[in-house]
Amino acid sequence: MNPVLFTLGGINFSSYYCMGLVGLVFGVWLTLYEVKRRGLDLKLAARGALWTCIMGYLGARAMHIVFDGFLDIYIQKPLAIFAFWKGGLAFYGIIIFGLPTAVWWFQSHKASILKYIDCYILGVAFGVGIGRIGCYLNGCCFGEISSSSFANRFINYGLSAKHQFARDILLNLKDSPFPVFPAQLISFAANMVIFLIIWFFFRKRLKKDGTLFGTWLIMYGIFRFIIEFFREDDRGLFFNNLLSTSQLIAIVSFIIGILMFVLPAYEPEKIEAASHD
C-alpha cells in the first residue's frame, strides 16, 4: 500500500488518481482505436468521450458521497465534497451518469448510439481494471479480515485500520491492522480477464449493435455481485444488510445486458451525419 505514488516539487501525487488517469488515457485510446476500425466518426467519438468522462467523474463522486457510507461525514463537513484529491469515487456512478451523456450526445448528432457505445465499453472495461490497482495502493475497497496466505496487511492509520478500529476489532490505531482479503487485486485480475475476453473473443464476432455492451454488463454484473460479499469497507447496505448498493446495481446491469441480446435491433436513425461542427 502506498497512497502517494511519488512526490514532485513538494506536491504529492495520489496513487489512486494516477492509476485512474492511466486507465482513462489508455481506455480512451482503445475506444478511439475501435471507432476508427469500425469506420465511425473519430472526431464525434472523441468529443463525446470528453463529455462522457466529465459527467462520469461527477457521477462517480456523487455516488461515493451518497451511497458509500460517508454521507454523514460530508453533511458535517460539506467542503470535503470538493476535496477530490483525497479520493472517493464509486465506479457505477461513471456508468449511471456517463451512459446517458453518451446517449444524449450521439442522439443529438443523429449517430448510431449503440455502435458508439459498443466502442466506449472497451475503454471502460480496461479502465476499471487498472483503477483497481489504484484502490489497492490507496488501501480502499478492502476485503474482510482473512487469515489466508494471500491476505494483505495495510499500513497503520489506513482505511482498513480505521474501519477495524471503529468496530472495536483494533484497540489502538497505532497497532497494525489485521490482514484482509485482497479484494482490489482480485477485482483487477477479474476485470482484465473480462476485458481480454471481450477484446479478443467477442469484439469481432458480435454483429448486433449493443451486444458488446450487453456482454460486458452481464459479465461485470455477475462478478461485482459476487465480490461484494468479500468486501468489508462501507458499502451502503439494504434489506437488513443483505445486499449492498453495488449489488442492487449489478442486478439491474445484468438484466439490461440480457435485454441487449433478446430485444430486436432498433435504430431510429440509420444515417451518420456527414459532418459535425
Instruction: Answer whether residue 246 is part of any domain.
Output: no
Of the two residues 51 and 239, the one the predictor is more confident about is 51
Residue 251 binned pLDDT confidence (cut-offs 50, 70, 90): very high
Of the two residues 267 and 1, the one the predictor is more confident about is 1
- Weakest mean pLDDT among 141-150, 177-186, 262-271: 262-271
Residue 270 binned pLDDT confidence (cut-offs 50, 70, 90): very low
Q: What percent of the chain has pLDDT over 70?
A: 93
3-state secondary structure the chain: CCCEEEEECCEEEEHHHHHHHHHHHHHHHHHHHHHHHCCCCHHHHHHHHHHHHHHHHHHHHHHHHHHCCCHHHHHHCHHHHHCHHHCCCCHHHHHHHHHHHHHHHHHHCCCCHHHHHHHHHHHHHHHHHHHHHHHHHHCCCCECECCCCCCECCCCCCHHHHHHHHCCCCCCCCCCCCCECCHHHHHHHHHHHHHHHHHHHHCCCCCCCCHHHHHHHHHHHHHHHHHHHHECCCCCEECCCCEEHHHHHHHHHHHHHHHHHHCCCCCCCCCCCCCCC
Instruction: Answer whether residue 103 is part of any domain.
Output: yes
**271 pLDDT above the threshold of 50:** no
Instruction: Answer whether residue 271 is part of any domain.
Output: no
CB atoms within 10 A of CB 162: 15
**137 pLDDT above the threshold of 80:** yes
pLDDT for 272:
45
Instruction: Answer whether residue 121 is part of any domain.
Output: yes
pLDDT (tens digit per residue) in 111-126: 999 999 999 999 999 9
pLDDT for 154:
87
**Average confidence (pLDDT) over 260-265:** 88
CB atoms within 10 A of CB 53: 18
Of the two residues 111 and 68, the one the predictor is more confident about is 111
**Average confidence (pLDDT) over 97-113:** 95
> How much is the mean pLDDT over the chain?
88
Instruction: Answer whether residue 164 is part of any domain.
Output: no
pLDDT for 85:
64
Instruction: Answer whether residue 212 is part of any domain.
Output: no
pLDDT for 86:
65
**205 pLDDT above the threshold of 70:** yes
**Average confidence (pLDDT) over 57-71:** 82
Quote the number of domains for the chain.
1
pLDDT for 156:
80
- In whole angstroms, how large is the CA radius of gyration of the chain? 20
The Cα 212–Cα 117 span in angstroms is 9
Cell 446491469: give the residue.
253
pLDDT (tens digit per residue) in 31-63: 999 999 999 999 999 999 999 999 999 998 888
pLDDT for 141:
87
pLDDT for 190:
97
Q: What percent of the chain has pLDDT over 90?
A: 55
Sign of the alpha-carbon torsion through 222, 143, 53, 245: positive
Domain extent, residue 127, equals 8-144+181-205
pLDDT (tens digit per residue) in 159-198: 888 888 888 888 888 888 999 999 999 999 999 999 999 9
**Average confidence (pLDDT) over 218-227:** 97
Instruction: Answer whether residue 132 is part of any domain.
Output: yes
Of the two residues 211 and 263, the one the predictor is more confident about is 211
Instruction: Answer whether residue 170 is part of any domain.
Output: no
Residue 273 binned pLDDT confidence (cut-offs 50, 70, 90): very low
